[in-house]
Structure 1
Amino acid sequence: MTPLPLLETLRFNMIEQQIRPWDVLDEQVLALLAQVRREEFVPPEHKALAFVDMMIPLRGTFDEALQLGQVMLEPKVEARLVQDVKLEGHEKVLEIGTGSGYVAALLAARAQRVISVEIEPELVRMARNNLHLAGVHNAEVREGDGSRGLAAEGPFDVILLSGSVAEVPEALLQQLKIGGRLAAIVGDEPVMRATFLTRTGESSFTTAQPWDTVAPRLLHFPAPSRFKF
């Protein structure tokens, strides 16, 4: 058997040693992770970290990037989010927090159209360039504050928040189609919950929180009051 090139060995090990053990078992998602080149979405100074089980800063120092939510999440978290929103190919997807564009590329491979909103102009340029170079034509990156969603383009089949929030704003829930799903990481450190909400009617939703993780905050999302009366 011919040995795999180094990058492909690292990619294979990421999938088999980090992602599959994290209950990412959908073979189509696993195949997608092998096809979309994560290293091409990582800033040049951090390419050596592309397959490591850690967050990767997109701008500035690691601490600065964490504070501003400008990181790539761990590969296993990205993969589990993409798997658990259960895309089937026909969906219109809203992503909030584009970052480098990697998750948008994964979503675009399994959806009809992706609109991704990013608040930081430098990351907008980075993500657009990365998606263009990767040949992804059904994902559009828009500069703006995603905390209110994108009502003019809704309703959406899927909304995915690529970062954490203290709570999911009602405005985003109202931009889901009936039957649509929203995925977010909700809560406060040290434990946050991956939260999947499905709209079952005009004012009804079901909620599942199947796993725990921690992720940096998305900017401008409201924090609930800690005072109780």
Structure 2
Amino acid sequence: MSSQVNQDIAERKMQFLFQLRSKGVTDNRVLTAMEKIDRGPFIQGFFADRAYEDTPLPIACGQTISQPSVVALMTQALNVQPRDKVLEVGTGSGYQAAILSQLARRVYTVERHRQLIRTARKAFEELDLGNITAIIGDGSFGLPQQAPFDRIVVTAAAEDPPGPLLAQLRVGGIMVVPVGQSDAVQSLIKVTRTETGFDYDELRPVRFVPLLEGLGKEEYI
């Protein structure tokens, strides 16, 4: 690889990190994880050369890879600790799980589309991310056999924080989830489980695909 190409990549990464900071990402651990995990391997085909842009991009199965600043802000809100066990609902490209893998002890990620799980697993293997377990399943019901979780992140919008996921959150744990009844009006919510219930903090407006129950239609064929 030529020195000019290396220089171009380094400059794009610097600009990438500057964009994250300008959007309010201040946690150095999150910034380090975002710098270490290249977004490129999680974007296929036509859009691959736009990996360093702070924009959502389409992926297979009618889904999207979130813009990096939203991934970073959700990760920052989770405040993941090195011993934490994290559940992600909605693997998508695998990019969010890869970022979380740099911060947590173990990441479980659940996806309803088998094609996306296959692609994400390949990326995890290529990047040697051995602390991620990617599972095909209905993430709206969580992963009861591995509960409770220290942190839960949902990468699709629900009308309300899903009850099964709240039940699988450890006392003191944090869940970050987009909530809204339409794709036009959604809020990113931080839920903290206390000894007596749940505290809710509204973080920012967002736009995510809807959280759907069941598996992707190709799984029923």
TM over 0.5: yes
Overall identity of the aligned pairs, in % = 31
Q: Distance in 1 between matches of 2:183 and 2:143?
A: 28
Q: Deviations over 1:28-60 (max 9, x none)?
A: 211211111111111133211211222111116
Name 2:99's counterpart in structure 1: 106
Q: Deviations over 1:52-73 (max 9, x none)?
A: 222111116xxxx2xxxx1101
Which of 189, 210, 219 is the matching residue for 1:217?
A: 210
Partner secondary structure for residue 79 of structure 2: coil
Name 1:191's counterpart in structure 2: 185
Name 2:77's counterpart in structure 1: 84
CA contact (8 A) 2:29 2:103 kept: no
RMSD: 1.6
Name 1:33's counterpart in structure 2: 34
Q: Distance in 1 between matches of 2:16 and 2:158?
A: 27
Partner secondary structure for residue 104 of structure 1: helix
Per-residue deviation at 1:118?
Answer: 0.6
> What's the TM-score, normalizing by structure 2?
0.90
Per-residue deviation at 1:109?
Answer: 0.7
Q: 5+ unaligned residues in a row in structure 1: which ranges?
A: 222-229
Which of 152, 159, 171 is the matching residue for 2:152?
A: 159
Name 1:56's counterpart in structure 2: 57
Per-residue deviation at 1:164?
Answer: 1.5
Partner secondary structure for residue 77 of structure 1: helix
Name 2:11's counterpart in structure 1: 9
Q: Distance in 1 between matches of 2:106 and 2:124?
A: 13
CA contact (8 A) 2:111 2:137 kept: yes
> What's the TM-score, normalizing by structure 1?
0.87
Q: Distance in 2 between matches of 1:184 and 1:214?
A: 11
